[in-house]
Chains A and B, each alone.
Chain A
Amino acid sequence: MELEPGAFVKEKILRVQEYALLSAAGVGNLFRRPLYVADIFAQADLIGIGSLPIVILTGFFTGAVLALQSAYTLSQFGAKSITGELVSLSMIRELGPVLTGLMVSGRNASGMASELGSMQVTEQIDAMRALGTDPIKKLVTPRIVSTIVMLFFLTIVADTVGILGGGVVSAAMLGIGPSQYFHASIDILRYPDVLQGMVKPIFSGFIIATIGCFYGMTTKGGTQGVGRSTTQAVVASSVFIIALDFIVSRFMIGAFGR
């Protein structure tokens, strides 16, 4: 691969532009007929119900390990009793949204990239266009909508299960009573905390769906190309989720002071 720096940069910029156009068209189609409602539900089932087990498992163990680690640190300052507050704040503001985003990205950004990528290299996307269907309307828009909606609810599930996991560990291993733990974890929450935790999955969902679809729709180079798109989609969406998480956190903390 001998690419001149100029050509390389130009190609990257064109890719970003292509991505922006695809995302804009994907969202814009929400307001133009037809809206593929059946496809939205099919995707929601695939993404939402399909991801439930891994989200519950990761959520539970994240909460559990968080309780374990923070209780140890806190006990050095004689503050073991506030373990519940720490677990709940970390879960809701940060770990719930980010880990759910990463899990769903690993599962669904890759799924979208490989499904649409295979369709692309076997000319099925062209066939769809030839049959008079806009593939962005039929394939991309439903994935954006259902990923955002489902990620939102999956994050709530992860938060809940995480706090529960922390509670189980606190009661079973750390000698913190359930009532003390849950009281602490609920009382500490303020409106900005919840808002921050609820805004993040909206961004992550958008990133997962648009990046997965973008890499899928622009796949070139046969089956090997599909593999490449799949990997790149997961890598890119995971990095963007974490980067955007930082930006949203910074903005929200700036706006609400916590």
Chain B
Amino acid sequence: MTPLDAPSATTPATAARDAEPILVFQHVALGFDGKLILNDISFTMEHGETRILLGPAGCGKSLLLKLANGLLAPDSGTVRLFGKDLRSVLRDDLYSLRANTGMVFQEGALFDSLSVRENVAYRLREENRDEELIEAKVREVLQFVELEHAIDLLPSQISGGMRRRVAIARAIITQPALLLYDSPTGGLDPITSTTIIDLIVKERDVFGGTSLLVTHRLQDAFTLATHAFNATTQQMERIPNRGLAPNTKFLVLNNTRIVFDGGLEDLLRSTDPFLQAFLA
């Protein structure tokens, strides 16, 4: 058995790393009951990129995330994950592709009858890892999200912010090649939000994964773009000289379409009236 940390040779991410972008949307459209929610969505995410998805409530951000790992199928257009067209992959292959992505749901979606330990260990159990390795790895990620003390509790026994962090731990335990975060700070107080953004920055800078992140708090988005994790002080710090985190880009949705795709500087400089109102 290969050590857990070493990416196995068969992961689609490694295979596709150089050749193919991690995620590609091409003219994707999705509607419900005849009403179009997403229309002509096209963008590309390269390896190592962090993409922040912004947009007003109800504009389809959560749906876009579910399209990315095939939980939903688009009405038209194509989604390519790790270079594979999700429409053409077989059912079983879709599950193995998903095993290489992590998703933090807007409402957490923890398994409510399993303890925090079992929630976090879920993926490793699915992979039939041995007991000792699972225990060690679970403690390690729980330490990462600073929740080791809650290991034996049930989701109903911990707070909303803690649940969000358990959801993050469950998603990142196998260091998947693509992480999808749906509003990880939604409905939380500023201090807990900062803790979570801190974790995401740490995740980004320590493991260098690719992630697509939805947020309602512009402040979080700016923090992500302007801060980096300092390995020597073990803390998140502002990048000096008004520098920006490389590979951290923005995607703004409004009224079924993508209205912005690019870096922070361009976003702030934009003259689009919607963007100016949205960022104000």
State whether B112 touches A126 (Cβ < 8 A). Answer: no
State whether A130 touches B69 (Cβ < 8 A). Answer: yes
State whether B109 touches A127 (Cβ < 8 A). Answer: yes
- Is A123 engaged at the interface, CB distance under 8 Å to the other chain? yes
State whether B126 touches A127 (Cβ < 8 A). Answer: no
State whether A131 touches B71 (Cβ < 8 A). Answer: no
- Is A32 engaged at the interface, CB distance under 8 Å to the other chain? yes
In the complex the two chains form, what is the Cα distance from A107 to B223 in whole Å? 52
In the complex the two chains form, what is the Cα distance from A146 to B5 in whole Å? 37
- Chain B: which residue is nearest A130 at the CB level? B103
Interface bin, chain A: 10 to 19
- Is B66 engaged at the interface, CB distance under 8 Å to the other chain? yes
In the complex the two chains form, what is the Cα distance from A164 to B107 in whole Å? 54
- Is B96 engaged at the interface, CB distance under 8 Å to the other chain? yes
Chain B nearest CB from A127 CB (Å) reads 4
In the complex the two chains form, what is the Cα distance from A124 to B123 in whole Å? 14
Among A32, A122, A126, A129, which residue has its beta carbon within 8 angstroms of that of B92? A32
State whether B111 touches A124 (Cβ < 8 A). Answer: yes
With contact pairs A32-B92, A134-B91, A134-B95 given, residues A129 and B71 touching in the complex (Cβ less than 8 Å): yes
Mostly, the B contact residues are mixed
- Is B147 engaged at the interface, CB distance under 8 Å to the other chain? no
State whether A127 touches B105 (Cβ < 8 A). Answer: yes
- Is B264 engaged at the interface, CB distance under 8 Å to the other chain? no
- Chain A: which residue is nearest B106 at the CB level? A123
With contact pairs A122-B112, A124-B112 given, residues A130 and B91 touching in the complex (Cβ less than 8 Å): no
- Chain A: which residue is nearest B126 at the CB level? A133
- Is B37 engaged at the interface, CB distance under 8 Å to the other chain? no
- Is A257 engaged at the interface, CB distance under 8 Å to the other chain? no
Q: CB within 8 Å of B: which of A88-144?
A: 119, 122-124, 126-134
Chain B nearest CB from A78 CB (Å) reads 60
Chain A nearest CB from B54 CB (Å) reads 22
Among A34, A122, A133, which residue has its beta carbon within 8 angstroms of that of B109? A122
Chain B nearest CB from A10 CB (Å) reads 15
In the complex the two chains form, what is the Cα distance from A17 to B128 in whole Å? 34
Chain B nearest CB from A61 CB (Å) reads 34
Among B98, B110, B111, B128, which residue has its beta carbon within 8 angstroms of that of A130? B98
In the complex the two chains form, what is the Cα distance from A205 to B95 in whole Å? 29
State whether A129 touches B105 (Cβ < 8 A). Answer: no
State whether A126 touches B66 (Cβ < 8 A). Answer: yes
Please give, as numbers and ranges, the residues of chain B lying within 8 Å of A130 by CB-CB distance: 69, 71, 98, 101-103, 105, 180
- Is B122 engaged at the interface, CB distance under 8 Å to the other chain? yes
State whether B103 touches A132 (Cβ < 8 A). Answer: no
Chain A nearest CB from B128 CB (Å) reads 8
Most B CB contacts (10 A, CB to CB) among A123, A130, A133 go to A130
State whether A132 touches B98 (Cβ < 8 A). Answer: yes
Q: CB within 8 Å of A: which of B103-125?
A: 103, 105, 107, 109-112, 122-123
- Chain B: which residue is nearest A36 at the CB level? B126
Please give, as numbers and ranges, the residues of chain A lying within 8 Å of B105 by CB-CB distance: 123, 126-127, 130
Among A119, A124, A133, which residue has its beta carbon within 8 angstroms of that of B95? A133
State whether B98 touches A122 (Cβ < 8 A). Answer: no
In the complex the two chains form, what is the Cα distance from A134 to B92 in whole Å? 8
Please give, as numbers and ranges, the residues of chain A lying within 8 Å of B66 by CB-CB distance: 126
Please give, as numbers and ranges, the residues of chain B lying within 8 Å of A133 by CB-CB distance: 95, 126
Using a CB–CB distance below 8 Å, which chain A residues touch chain B? 32, 34, 119, 122-124, 126-134
Using a CB–CB distance below 8 Å, which chain B residues touch chain A? 66, 69, 71, 91-92, 95-96, 98-103, 105, 107, 109-112, 122-123, 126, 128, 170, 180
7 more A-B contacts (CB under 8 A) besides A126-B109, A130-B105? A122-B109, A124-B109, A126-B71, A131-B98, A131-B99, A131-B126, A132-B98
